[in-house]
Amino acid sequence: MTTGVYVTSAYGAGCSLLRISATAGQFKAEEVYANRVMANHHGGVVRVGEFLYGYSEGKGWVCQEFKTGKVMWEQPNFGKGSIMAADHHLYLRGEDRGSVVLLEASPQSYRATGFFEQPFRSKQQAWAHPIIAGGKLYLRDQEVLLCYNVHM
């Protein structure tokens, strides 16, 4: 049996993919790659197909090939935040203004297909991750919970 474990952290750590295998009850871990393509703080990373998406400290939003660690694209123009994937789309939420961007989950380029500024915004950073459930997008901001229809 063989499986992969991907880890990422900010503060100069970067990311690594480890191959874990088991033979006759003995486990072995091998490093597939280690680099600084993805250095995620707290906004999370999602995998869609063979690609990872997330915010990388000092680079902006990044698409990384899972198997090789190669950077596919970087987008520094939308600030740090959290991410959620659903139906081959990415929902990015900026921590400073609570802005939400809808992207195609594509390794070719950063393709925004929708954008809005969150109403009823608190003065705190938006660290709660967006949630998709039952065709709805949920955004929490302190004591406010917003719900949007997102049927595709």
Mean pLDDT of the chain: 93
Which residues, in sequence order, are CB contacts of 30 under 8 Å at separation 6+?
Answer: 18, 19, 21
Residue 76 has pLDDT above 80, yes or no: yes
Q: What does the domain layout of the chain look like in residue ranges?
A: 2-149
Exposure of 131 by Cβ count < 10 A (0-12 exposed, 13-18 middle, 19+ buried)? Answer: middle
Q: What is the mean pLDDT of residues 20-29?
A: 92
Residue 54 has pLDDT above 90, yes or no: yes
CA angle 79, 83, 87 (to 5 degrees): 135
* Confidence at residue 79, expressed as pLDDT on a 0 to 100 scale: 86
Place 85 in a pLDDT band, splitting at 50, 70 and 90: very high
Q: Phi/psi of residue 131, each to 5°? A: -125, 135
What architecture (CATH level 2) is domain 2-149?
A: Beta Barrel (2.40)
Q: What is the mean pLDDT of residues 42-59?
A: 95
Tokens coding 102 = 């809808």
Residue 151 has pLDDT above 60, yes or no: yes
Q: What percent of the chain has pLDDT over 90?
A: 80
